[in-house]
Structure 1
Amino acid sequence: MVEPKGQQVGTNALPPDRAGVSAGTAGATMSAIVGPSYGSSEVLRHEVVDRPVVGDGEVLIRVRAASVCSGDVHLLTGKPYLIRLGFGLRRPKYRIPGQDVAGVVVAVGDKVTGFRIGDEVYGKTSGGGFAEYVCVSARTLAPKPATLTFEQAAAVPDSGMTALQGLREVGGLRPGGSVLVNGASGGVGTFAVQIAKALGGEVTAVCSTRHLAAVRDLGADHVIDYTAEDFTEVDGEYDIIFDLVGNRSLRECRRVLTPGGVFVSSAGSPGGNWLSPVLWIGKVVLANLFASQTFAPLLMRPTRADLEFLTGLAENATLRPLIERRYPLAETAAAFAHIADGHAQGKTVILACS
């Protein structure tokens, strides 16, 4: 284990919260990555903090691996600024970032059933994942797929559930349906390609030149290199456009949707730091007034049932996380910088414990 380089903090240095650090741990400490203020990856510090205490409905796990998603970057920077209404106006609500984790159960809170000490699990929490220990709600936790390592399992929750809900619940994908994934080489995109195939779809993947081989290997039936072609100008229509980039107008996308097709937007907030998220969602919703197609924004809601569905895909060898880079816990800031650059392939994983 790499020794932390930051300042050691005591019980009162950080506010107690379930996904951060909690008082009353009788001196037990852990290594963690702390983001005391909004900013770039440079604000992150590797410190020794108090170990969290398991609460009712929670499971305390020793983290073996965690992964960085684009949402972690937004919560660190506090941009778009509307995020701060729910996650802290002046500073981050969760001082320890990290939402996707995999590890071993070391304590179980009251009213929790289905988990025991020693279980290998994976899931999603509100924050606190970039640490040696974290408390996770039992509602968003599931047994780790037997076919996946801890590193692979940690890569699944946020991106996997976003892809699943976008395609199955919002997009209504059925066997034989045609799907275009715009942004197919990223965290959500690499899962979307595989899940769409598992649900019986015919998949067209849009990505840059350097990612073409990777998305083909994941099972894409067709690939479009956006540096050479505009997918809205290529002949063909799609039952579902799963947009993870937001770099084409709704009017352009409408041209390549089937008459009853669905445009699913999980592209975040293109174009600014203030009202752009609201304006973009408004445009997506209003587009339904002027077309036979459906335009729908996607807001992922983590559930154990969806994790268990993804577990089934992994154990049937139809889902495998694509991990581009791995970093030790002490180098989490470098992992954030890599994701913030915007050209990462697949997932980036943090190794919390050996």
Structure 2
Amino acid sequence: MKSELQAKWWQKPLAKSVGLHLALVLGLFISTLSFWPKPTEIMLSGEAGLSADAPPPPPPAPVEAVAIDKQALEQRVAEIKKQQDDTRKAEEKRIRDLERRAKEAENSRTAEEARLKRVAEEKRKADAAVQASRQAAAEAKKVQEAEAAKARAAEQQRLAKEQERKKAEEAAKAAEAKRKAEQAALAKAQAEREQKAREEREQAERERMIQEQLAAEAEARRRARSQQAVTEVQRYTAMISDAIDRNLIKDESTMRGRTCRVNIRLATNGFVTSVNVISGERVVCDAAVRAVNRAGTLPMSADPDVYNQLKDITLTVAPEFR
């Protein structure tokens, strides 16, 4: 900035004023030289430089004419001096006016510079104040936003706690209602279990009595059937023995006093499915096996109880002789 001001020093009002004054003085000097009267040249007849063939000079002017010319010349010189004085005075006045205006301009410039400095300082202060105000406003806004955020967070926390409290109360109410319902259900279930237990005990007692009655009746029927079955088994056993004895080929010399025990398995219709010797004399056992096979089908009762006792029967074969 300093170099720029130094580079443009000629643009300042003072430099312009000095330059203008110099130009005016130079112009005045040149005008003075132009208006100065040239000296009158008088050539004498006897002076060197005149040729012998040259025509004679004119006769000299009268003395009065010379005096008139000199007076006119002096008057003209006086007029010129007066003009020059007037011009000089006017120029000096113009220069003074220019200097005054230059000084006033310089003073105005100085005042303007001072005013601009004051304005710039005031603007700087105002800008600083505005910046400080903006910064303070920004800080205040930050503080306000922080306080608002804290308030929102506190409100959210309060609402969350309120919701948690409500949820806890609702959960407590639900738990109490559930507990009461469970107690009622337990009491009802206990009553139902007790009622069911009483009914089951009563039913069990009734069933026990019925079972006892049925068992007694079944036992009575079993004894009756058993007695009947024993009789039937004895009767069919005798019939099976008689059928084997009818098909038995006897030899008194080899079989007298001798026996054989055989196991016979029968189908429901009395058909012999197998016959096996358990023990005894061989001659009797061989004859007994042949007699069973020869019979093929032995007597059998249609009663299942009798069949269950006769389907797998063991007999002792003892040939009898008269």
Scaled by the length of structure 1, the TM-score of the pair is 0.14
More helix by share: 2
More strand by share: 1
Of structures 1 and 2, the one scoring higher in RCO (CA 8 A, sep 6+) is: 1
Scaled by the length of structure 2, the TM-score of the pair is 0.15
Higher Rg? 2
